């Protein structure tokens, strides 16, 4: 049953994709009239509807012949950025070179994405977010799941462009528009230039291969001024060492080698010049450092609450980049990760690029993120936690942070979890003096963030 449904969706989706470019709205109307006339004109002795059928068939045959011949030659270039953001309209430049000696008019331009149709395995194993709220029939048929998977893999919607007249042997610039809808890699494979036949029923199409890709970043929420927890702490080795990239340190001066100095600190040029070992001395600093702990633990591959959590993490991290502090982004995917940003170590663009690729952790428990946190705990000024669930493991983490006197800001995302929110608010969420809890409903997350 599922295999048959998949084959039907796969075929019909591909057919729809082709027909949308080949047939105009007028053409679809005539084809519907043709079908209606065929149904009514079966008995030619009782009515004359068959004459309408014959007339419409003649029109379609003529239009088909005209649509076959489209010998114009074009060269197209597309200039797109490396990144786009969900919900922010992307505008980019397309240059079309008409290589013929005649003016080309009434043309349309279509963007072609890489085939977004899911595999049979993906169709079986990847439910639509909140699919359990649909009817049993909808779940069994899987039509909404199919549409969501196609949209998820395509990552956006491109606007069909009405091209201005293209002058002979000249270049014309137009502005393309894409609305990103899902984070991930958007792959564009070609552009199709279409010209209607004289009757306006079919399009003659010419497809130009032009493969390019861009990364769709998480949606960014508008945030009010948020006072992040914590205060300055001593960071041995300064900013460079704080990034935990090798043993690189902020240079302060040169001095003679002392027993116990790391070989990595040796300044080889000075040793060669002076004839004795010289080492680089680092600069120690005090500054603010926060951990941003992103909860990715859930049984589903995709969910609305995880997408909101990632967008909130991106929004908070982008805000921290404007402040004089370091930020350790911590989450678990295939393994536990920690990326450091701020104070010139890395930039917002890189951080958003990482968050665009974050997926759900389905095969590990929440405890798997604890070692990453413990590794940085002594240097942290404060913590920001974004939770998509609440249980004993998360509770123990908050208790441990409170015990270590680390000020913590917790964003608890609320969807349809079966929690007694009133009980949690009066008990678990108020027992720690150094911790602030905010319960945010994901259905109106932007409005609730502005109330903070």
Mark whether 253 and 340 lie in a shared domain: no
Has residue 237 been placed in a domain?
A: no
pLDDT in tens, 346-381: 567 788 899 999 999 999 999 999 999 998 888 888
pLDDT at 430 over 70: no
pLDDT at 322 over 60: no
Has residue 141 been placed in a domain?
A: no
- Is the pTM higher than 0.75? The answer reads yes
Q: What is the CATH number of the domain that holds 403?
A: 3.40.50.410
Mark whether 254 and 354 lie in a shared domain: no
CA distance 359 to 216: 14
Mark whether 253 and 330 lie in a shared domain: no
Mark whether 269 and 295 lie in a shared domain: no
CA distance 278 to 268: 7
Average pLDDT over residues 321-340: 82
Has residue 109 been placed in a domain?
A: yes
Average pLDDT over residues 63-70: 84
Mark whether 292 and 199 lie in a shared domain: no
pLDDT at 111 over 90: yes
Mark whether 351 and 263 lie in a shared domain: no
Mark whether 408 and 278 lie in a shared domain: no
Q: What is the CATH number of the domain that holds 7?
A: 2.60.40.10
pLDDT at 339 over 60: yes
Judge whether 78 and 173 are in contact, CB under 8 Å: no
Q: For the chain, what is the mean pLDDT?
A: 85
Number of neighbouring beta carbons within 10 Å of residue 379: 17
pLDDT at 295: 96
CA distance 306 to 332: 13
In Å, how far are 414, 446, 449 from 443, measured between CA atoms?
A: 9, 9, 12
Q: Which of 252, 282, 312 is a domain's end point?
A: 282
| Number of domains the chain contains | 3
pLDDT at 36 over 90: no
Domain of residue 272 covers 243-282
pLDDT at 281: 64
Query: What are the phi and psi torsion angles at 337 (to 5°)?
Result: -125, 150
Beta bridge partners of 411: 386, 438
CA distance 134 to 337: 35
Mark whether 208 and 79 lie in a shared domain: yes
In Å, how far are 85, 166, 192 from 170, measured between CA atoms?
A: 33, 7, 19
Q: Who has greater pLDDT, 434 or 240?
A: 434
pLDDT at 273: 82
Length of the chain: 452
Has residue 124 been placed in a domain?
A: no
At 200, list the tokens: 């306006």
pLDDT in tens, 383-404: 999 999 998 999 999 999 988 8
Has residue 125 been placed in a domain?
A: no
Mark whether 274 and 386 lie in a shared domain: no
Q: What is the 3-state secondary structure (H, E, C) of the chain?
A: CHHHHHHHHHHHHHHHHHHHHHECHHHHHHHHHHHHHHHHCCCCCCCCHHHHHHHHHHHHHHHHHHHHCCCCCEEEEEECCCEEECCCCEEEEEEEEECCCCCECCCEEEEEECCCCCCHHHHHHCCCCCHHHCCHHHHHHCHHHHHHHHHHHHCEEECCEECCCECCCEEEEEEEEEEECCCEEEEEEEEEEEEECCCCCEEEEEEEEEEEEEEEECCCCCCCCCCCCCCCEEECCHHHHHCCCCCCCCEEEEEECCCCCCHHHECHHHHHHHCCCEEEEECCEEEEEEEEEECCECCCCCCHHHHHHHHHHHHHHHHHCCCCEEEEEEEECCCEEEEEECCCCCCHHHHHHHHHCCCCECCCCHHHHHHHHHHHHHHCCEEEEEECCCCHHHHHHHHHHHHCCCEEEEEEEECCCCCCHHHHHHCCCCCCCCEEEEEEEHHHHHHHHHCC
CA distance 267 to 248: 12
Q: Who has greater pLDDT, 228 or 286?
A: 228
Q: Which of 227, 255, 282 is a domain's end point?
A: 282
Mark whether 326 and 274 lie in a shared domain: no
Range name among 172-186, 201-215, 295-309, 427-441 with the lowest pLDDT average: 427-441
Residue 162: pLDDT band with limits 50, 70, 90: very high
Has residue 130 been placed in a domain?
A: no
Residue 286: pLDDT band with limits 50, 70, 90: low
Mark whether 68 and 205 lie in a shared domain: yes
Has residue 307 been placed in a domain?
A: yes
Has residue 317 been placed in a domain?
A: yes
Q: Who has greater pLDDT, 193 or 49?
A: 193
Mark whether 212 and 186 lie in a shared domain: yes
Number of neighbouring beta carbons within 10 Å of residue 163: 19
């Amino acid at each position: 049953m599922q295999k048959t449904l998949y084959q039907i969706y796969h075929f019909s989706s591909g057919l729809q994709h082709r027909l949308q470019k080949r047939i105009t709205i007028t053409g679809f109307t005539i084809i519907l009239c043709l079908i209606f006339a065929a149904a009514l004109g079966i008995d030619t002795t009782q009515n004359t509807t068959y004459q309408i059928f014959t007339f419409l068939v003649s029109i379609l045959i003529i239009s088909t012949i005209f649509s076959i011949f489209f010998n114009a030659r074009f060269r197209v270039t597309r200039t797109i950025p490396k990144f786009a953001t969900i919900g922010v309209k992307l505008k980019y430049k397309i240059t079309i070179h008409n290589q013929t000696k005649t003016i080309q008019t009434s043309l349309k331009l279509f963007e072609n994405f890489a085939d977004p149709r899911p595999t049979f395995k993906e169709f079986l194993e990847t439910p639509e977010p909140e699919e359990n709220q649909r009817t049993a029939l909808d779940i069994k048929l899987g039509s909404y799941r199919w549409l969501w998977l196609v949209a998820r893999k395509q990552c956006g919607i491109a606007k069909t462009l009405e091209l201005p007249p293209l002058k002979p042997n000249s270049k014309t610039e137009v502005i393309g528009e894409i609305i990103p809808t899902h984070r991930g890699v958007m792959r564009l494979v070609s552009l199709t230039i279409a010209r209607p036949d004289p009757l306006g029923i079919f399009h003659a199409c010419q497809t130009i291969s032009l493969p390019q890709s861009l990364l769709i970043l998480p949606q960014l929420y508008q945030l009010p001024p948020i006072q992040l927890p914590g205060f300055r702490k001593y960071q041995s080795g300064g900013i460079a060492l704080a990034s935990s990239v090798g043993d690189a340190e902020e240079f302060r001066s040169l001095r003679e080698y002392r027993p116990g100095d790391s070989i990595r600190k040796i300044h080889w040029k000075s040793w060669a010049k002076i004839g004795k070992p010289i080492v680089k001395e680092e600069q120690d600093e005090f500054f603010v450092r926060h951990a941003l702990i992103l909860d990715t633990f859930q049984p589903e591959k995709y969910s609305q609450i995880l997408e909101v959590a990632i967008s909130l993490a991106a929004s908070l991290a982008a805000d921290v980049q404007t402040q004089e502090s370091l930020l350790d982004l911590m989450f678990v995917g295939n393994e536990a990760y920690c990326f450091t940003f701020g104070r010139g170590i890395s930039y917002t663009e890189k951080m958003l690029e990482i968050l665009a690729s974050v997926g759900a952790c389905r095969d590990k428990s929440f405890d798997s993120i604890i070692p990453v946190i413990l590794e940085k705990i002594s240097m942290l000024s404060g913590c920001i936690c974004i939770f998509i669930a609440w249980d004993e493991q998360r509770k123990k983490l908050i208790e441990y942070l409170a015990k270590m006197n680390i000020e913590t800001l917790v964003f608890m995302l609320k969807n349809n979890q079966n929690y007694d929110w009133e009980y949690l608010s009066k008990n678990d969420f108020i027992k720690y003096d150094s911790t602030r809890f905010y319960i945010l409903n994901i259905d109106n997350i932007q409005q609730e963030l502005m109330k903070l």
